[in-house]
Structure formats: structure tokens, C-alpha cells
Amino acid sequence: MQIAVDGPAASGKSSVAAQVAKKLGFVYFDTGVMYRAATWAAIQAKIDLNDEAACTALAEKIVIEVGPASIDDGRQADIVLDGQDITWEIRRPEVDASVSRISAYPKVREQMVNQQRRIGENGSTPGIVMAGRDIGTVVLPKAPLKIYLTASAEARARRRHEEELRRGQLSNYDDVLAAMKQRDHVDSSRVTSPLRPAEDAIIINTTQLQMSQAVDKMYSIVAGFLKS
């Protein structure tokens, strides 16, 4: 059973999808962490992020592993890059500012999508909830259930701002909002796999919803689908 969950940054898709997967006993996989890991790797390697060829060459070499959370520090999973735990490094502002650029490169996406599709099509688990920006449209276009979470840019910026403050980072709401709007523009206007709901996706607007309410709403949709 494959459940594809898409949506813009901070729409709640990762947190909501993770909790729904846990309730279902399904595997949860946030594909966005792979692009974040590739971006962090490029930053650490001091690669010019405007150099598509260099970023692609790096994406072809790195090994990204996603596994169950081994530390109780709020993480949903362990993100490991070439043996190094970078779970929280990929949430840093410099990654936020550049991940859309890296993820827009066709060959980088090709490398990441191949890995995502392999995981999504692994039949050894009862089901998988895969969250990202092009799961329902590109990675798992034949998924029987597709859900698209969205929210206003202001609500999403507020969530990201509060998240950064909780982690002890310096954060300015206006800066976060501006970065959020810029990322939305890049994600939705890129030539390769632009962010958009699949034609058969069920849309959930989380602007006015608390996390628990969004989880209940998505779980209700999934449970109803599984019973049908």
C-alpha cells in the first residue's frame, strides 16, 4: 500500500504523515531530506551551488541513508550522509535558502528519485507513507491514495519560525516569510517536477488546523480509503 503525500514547505506534511504512518503501522519516508542532504553536502564541499554539473556529480557519489530515529531529540528519523549523522544540520537556514535550487537540477532529481522509487516500491513492508513535493506526480504516480497538504505562506512561515526558535536558532519571522515565498516560487515554477497537486489528490488545507486536527483528518481519509 502506497500513500503519496505532497505539499509546500512547512505545510505540516512531514509531521502529519509521520504520525499517520505510525498509527497505521506503515513505514514513513520524507523524501525531502534527501535533497536537503545533497544541499548540505554541496555546501560542506564548498561547491558553487549555481554549478549544475558539479552538484550533479556530487549527487551521484554521496550515499544518503534514512533510518528509524536513534536519538530522542525530536527527530522523526536519522539522516546519515556518508556515515555522518546530519539530521539537524539539514534544517539549518543556509540549507533552507538553497535546497530548492539544488532540487531543481534535473540530474540531481533523477538520482534522488531513483532511490525514492526503489524504497517506495519495496514490497517487504505492509505499506509506506512517502512525503515530498513530487511523490504523487513523479515518484509514485500510480499510488492508490494521494494527499496534498497546503497552508498559507504566513501560517507556514510562523511554524518554521517557531521551530527554529525552539531549536535555539536565531530567527526573524519576516526573513522566514520572504524565504518561504521565494521557495514556493522556485518549487512551483521549475521545469522538472514542479510542485503541484496530482489530479487525483485529496487536498487538505492546514492553515487553521492544529497538528492533532490535521493528523485526525488525514487518518480519517486513509482509514476510509482502506475500508473501501
Annotated domain spans of the chain: 2-223
Alpha-carbon radius of gyration of the chain = 17
What kind of architecture, by CATH, is found in domain 2-223?
3-Layer(aba) Sandwich (3.40)
Q: Within its chain, how far is the Cα of 170 from the centroid?
A: 23
Question: In degrees to the nearest 10, what's the CA dihedral of 106, 110, 113, 114?
Answer: 180
One digit per residue, pLDDT tens: the chain, 228 residues?
899 999 998 998 989 999 999 999 888 888 889 999 999 999 999 999 999 999 999 999 998 887 778 899 988 778 999 999 999 999 999 999 999 899 889 999 999 988 788 777 766 567 889 999 889 999 999 999 999 999 999 999 999 999 999 989 899 999 999 999 998 998 899 888 899 999 999 999 999 999 999 999 999 999 999 998
Please give the model's pTM, rounded to 2 decimal places: 0.76
